[in-house]
Structure formats: structure tokens, C-alpha cells
Structure 1
Amino acid sequence: MTVALHADIARLKRSNPEIFARPLLARLRDWSLWLVFLGLVAFALWWIDASPMRIFNGLSKLGMLVGLMIPPWPGDGFWDYCRAMLETIAMAFLGTVIAAVIAVPLGFLGAKNIVPNWLFHFTLRRFFDAFRGIDGLVWALIFVSAVGLGPFAGVLAIAVGDVMVLGKLFAEAIENVDKKPVDGVRASGGGGLHVVRLGVLPQVFPVMMSHVLYFFESNVRSATILGIVGAGGIGLQLSDRIRINNWQQAAFIILMILVTVAIIDAISRRIRARLV
């Protein structure tokens, strides 16, 4: 048994020498890549001046701020915070719904098996990629300047920021559908709309809803940040409390955000599990 095992290992070494003894040039290449990576990390740390002293001073100041936050206390603004939290949830909900409604037709148009024209498909996908490169915070700043302060700007920022991402995800889901139901609808004499309605949509609807629910979870968190730049909601309340150094109320708002996001995540996770 041992002799046969050694013979098998020797045969493997002869047939695959690069696995057991990598060439010197390959090893030098790997070490060079690791050195380049470490050099880039060191350069980036030097560029941002991430010195140990700055980290130590920052942690000590952070500890002082945490001490000022204890105990969290709403003061006289509890109901104002509740209203602002509901406003943030409404922003996330409306923005996600608007983005999903617009993304559904874009997803069908961007799927190769629905619109086979490669030029149209390529142009639409690059359009998706271009808009996905702009962060929601940038959209919030743009819409605050365009339509003014308040939650309407936040809804528009969430909708525009999500529509292209959802469109791309929907298109990929549509491209991966099983062809048998589609062929069955066509064989029964169904037209293009029947194929989409009866052959494609029942397969991709659970996936689409799962994506939409996940984006709603994420947008509740994002809406708090958008409020800091003037889009309303609980983020604006948090920004005001930090600006006037009212750290106890700021801590209470942060706890409200954490609890709300946790509840929404739990509910959304259960719904997505049932759908998928």
C-alpha cells in the first residue's frame, strides 16, 4: 500500500510539476505582487496620516463622547423624534417603491432573452452602470438644491439612486429564467405579452420582491444619512443634536435608529424567506 501510494505521488509530480514545485519566476511574481500590495497599503496610510498617536487621541476623545452620551435621554423631543423616524421610514418606503416600479420595465428591456438587440442591450446596460456610479448622498445634495429641503428630496434621491441598480438586478434575474414555461406559452399560441405575463414574471417575481425588500432595509439606514444633508427625517434631528453638543439626546436618537432598523430587518427577513 505504501509503495503504491509513493508511486502515485511520484506520477502526480511528473504530470503536474507546477503544483508541487512552482517555477522560480512564478514565485518571484507572487512575491512581487504581495510587495506591491503592501507598499500601496503603507503609502495609503502615510497619505491619510494614520499615525498611532492620532488613533490613540481619537479613541480617547471617542471615549469621552461615549461618557457624555450616558444615559441616553430624549428630553422634551420624544414625540418629535418618533415623527421624524416615521418620516424616515416613509422616505425609504416611497423611494424604494418608485425605484422598483420604474426598474421593472427597465429590467425587461435590459434582458437579452426579452430584447435580443445587442446594441440596445449594450447601451442600456452602460446607462445602468453610469448611474450606479453616483452615490445616494450625491443625489440628495443635488435634489436638496433642486427642490429644497425636506423629505421630498430624500425620496427622489433614494428612487434615482436605486432604480438603475434594481434594473440591472431585475434584468439578470429575467435572463436566468427557465425556458420551458416560456416555450410552453409560445407553443400554446401566446404573444409577447403573454410570454412575459405567464412565462417570465411568475418565475422572477419572488426574486424581484426579495431584492426590493432588501433595498428597503438598506434605504431605511441610508435615509438617516440623507437627513443630515437636509433631506429631513431622523437624520436631521440627529445632526441638530450633535451640532449643539446635546449628546444624551443624540444617543437616544441613535438607539431609536438601531431598534427601528433591527425590527424592519427581522420582518423583511421573514418575508424574503417565505418568498424565496
Structure 2
Amino acid sequence: MTLALSAADRAALIARHKAAIDGSLKTKLTTIAVIGGLVGLFLYGLTTLETSLWKIIAGFSNLGTFVVLMLPPDPGSFARAIIFVKALFETIAIAFLGTILAAILAFPLGFLAAKNVVANRVVHFLARRSMDTVRGVDALIWALIWVNVVGLGPFAGMLAIMTSDLGAFGKLFSEAIESADRKPVEGVASVGGGKFHEIRFGLIPQVLPVIASQVLYYIESNTRSSTIIGIVGAGGIGLYLAETIRTLEWQQVSFLILLVLAAVTAIDFLSSKLRFAIIGKRAV
């Protein structure tokens, strides 16, 4: 049975909580300022980038020309196709090793950056800012740096992926740890468990499925990123993609693009199976 409020009671309720309903003047001004800033930034971007709808419409004819030049996909020869497939597996290896090494290194950093694990503000601040610094540099720039450090080749690409993902994984892992339920941790502590036991039996079982899902997604994403960093000499199929574009071999370009799409699709299928297996559901 629901009790309807009378008009007088409703008016009294609104008057009593008027500040919470209407909001403060400071909150309103802040909201207006944020919205105004975003709109201004959007308009500034439109004018600065010389955005033009007519350029896009006119460019469709050029796009159609390139599509026609790319058909049918053709590696050029059987030997060339073997080289491309080998380069594709090299790209997958770069993405896989780089992502796994980044996850291994970021795992302890995630605990250092989590407020519910490390209460020391100095350690927490240094861990967070260090990961922000690493994450602030794009994988392509890291590839250019590592190419100059260790030379051309897939090793530089693997190091670039690892370095770029280290900061991202540290942030994601720490946020997953901070959002974990405190009850299992308190349960471990109540039976005499120490700090290590709280982490091992209270936190890790909760965050491991989330971390595994994030790592699997990044393996798929980094397969595409490894293609881009290969263009600057970090190994993989990107090197051949840049070469074929430079020599206007558009049929070979489309063949390489199809190889990358097939690899990403296969990795996505396998990662979804693994993710469902890890979180305890039957993979379908």
C-alpha cells in the first residue's frame, strides 16, 4: 500500500531539501563552464583543422579509385605470399610478447598504486606518476626510441609495445584492485592472515578475471598497433605495408590488410573463448 503525499507535505519536503534539489550556485556555474569549454574546444577544432564536408564528399571519388586499384587482392607471387604470412606471425609475436611482459611487470606496480593496498602517500604518488609518464608516450614514439637504442627489427617493436602498455596496465590493474570487495580481505584478516595472505587470498582471486580480460583485449589491440610501429622499422608486417604503399602496389596492400583483419578476427575469437573460461562460464 502506497501513501500519497498531500500538496502541503510535498511543498514542505521540497522546501526542506531545496538546496539538494536545485543544486548550489557553484555547481551550476561549474557545469556551465565545463559545457562551454567543451563546446568551445569543439568549435576551435573545427576551425583549426579546416574541417570541410565538401572535401569529404569530393574525396569519395578518390577513395573509390583506390578501392578499384586494390582489387583483387594479390600478393604478387607465392614466394611473396609466404614472406607476408611470416611477417604476420612476427607481428603477432611482437604483440603477444610485448603485452605479456607488460602485464607481468605491471602486476606488482598495480598493487603499489592501489590505495587500499599501499597507504603510504609517497609510494602511491610515485607509482601513479611513473605510470602516467610512461603511458603519456605513444607506442609509435616508443618504437622510434627503441629502434635507436637496440636497432631495427622486431625486438624494438616488442620493447615498444611492452613499454607503452606498462603504464596502461598499471593504471587498469590498480583501479581493479581498488574496486575489489573488502569483505573477502576482512575475512582473511579475521582468521589471522597477514598482509600477504590478504592480497593472495582476498584480492587476487577477485581481480584476476578482470586482469586476464584486459590482457586478452590488449593482445588483440596490439596486433593492430604492431602493424603501425612496423612502419618505422620495428619489424613485422608493417614494414611490408609501408613498402607496398610507397611503391603503389595497391593489390599487395589489400592482401596485407586482409591478412591483418584475419589475424585480428582469429585472436578475438580465441580471446573470447579464454575469457569465458577464466571467468567460470562455459565458452560458447
Q: TM-score range by the shorter chain?
A: 0.7 to 0.9
d(CA) in 2 for partners of 1:239, 1:106: 36
Shift of 1:100: 0.6
In the TM superposition, 1:63-142 aligns within 5 A as 63-76=64-77, 77-142=80-145
1:251 to 241, 247, 254: 254
d(CA) in 1 for partners of 2:190, 2:144: 52
Is the CA contact 2:134–2:166 (under 8 Å) kept in the aligned structure 1?
Answer: no
Label 1:183 to 1:43 Cα distance change in 2 as closer, same or farther (>3 A). Answer: closer
In the TM superposition, 1:228-247 aligns within 5 A as 228-247=231-250
Query: Quick one: which amino acid aligns to residue 62 of structure 1?
Result: L
Question: Percent identity, aligned pairs only?
Answer: 50
Query: Quick one: which amino acid aligns to residue 138 of structure 2?
Result: D
Query: Quick one: which amino acid aligns to residue 101 of structure 2?
Result: I
d(CA) in 1 for partners of 2:200, 2:83: 45
Query: Quick one: which amino acid aligns to residue 55 of structure 2?
Result: R
Is 2:205 the counterpart of 1:202?
Answer: yes
Is 2:154 the counterpart of 1:151?
Answer: yes
Deviates more, 1:154-163 or 1:166-175: 166-175
d(CA) in 2 for partners of 1:52, 1:185: 61
Spell out, residue by residue over 1:220-258, the C-alpha distance to the aligned partner (whole angstroms, 9 max, x if none): 111111111111111111111111000001001101111
In the TM superposition, 1:171-250 aligns within 5 A as 171-250=174-253
Deviates more, 1:40-49 or 1:261-270: 40-49
Is 2:60 the counterpart of 1:59?
Answer: yes
d(CA) in 1 for partners of 2:222, 2:56: 31
Query: Quick one: which amino acid aligns to residue 215 of structure 1?
Result: Y
d(CA) in 1 for partners of 2:187, 2:36: 57
Query: Quick one: which amino acid aligns to residue 138 of structure 1?
Result: I
Counterpart secondary structure, 1:231: coil
d(CA) in 2 for partners of 1:35, 1:174: 35
Query: Quick one: which amino acid aligns to residue 85 of structure 2?
Result: C
The count of residues paired between Structure 1 and Structure 2 equals 266
d(CA) in 2 for partners of 1:165, 1:194: 27
Shift of 1:108: 1.3
d(CA) in 2 for partners of 1:111, 1:33: 29
The residue number in structure 2 matching 1:23 is: none
Shift of 1:195: 2.4
5+ residue gaps, structure 1: 21-25
Is 2:161 the counterpart of 1:163?
Answer: no
d(CA) in 1 for partners of 2:171, 2:37: 34
Deviates more, 1:193-202 or 1:46-55: 46-55
5+ residue gaps, structure 2: 23-27, 280-284
1:267 to 262, 266, 270: 270
d(CA) in 2 for partners of 1:112, 1:47: 41
d(CA) in 2 for partners of 1:229, 1:219: 16
d(CA) in 2 for partners of 1:53, 1:179: 56
Label 1:40 to 1:93 Cα distance change in 2 as closer, same or farther (>3 A). Answer: closer
Shift of 1:42: 4.2
d(CA) in 2 for partners of 1:204, 1:39: 40
In the TM superposition, 1:6-21 aligns within 5 A as none
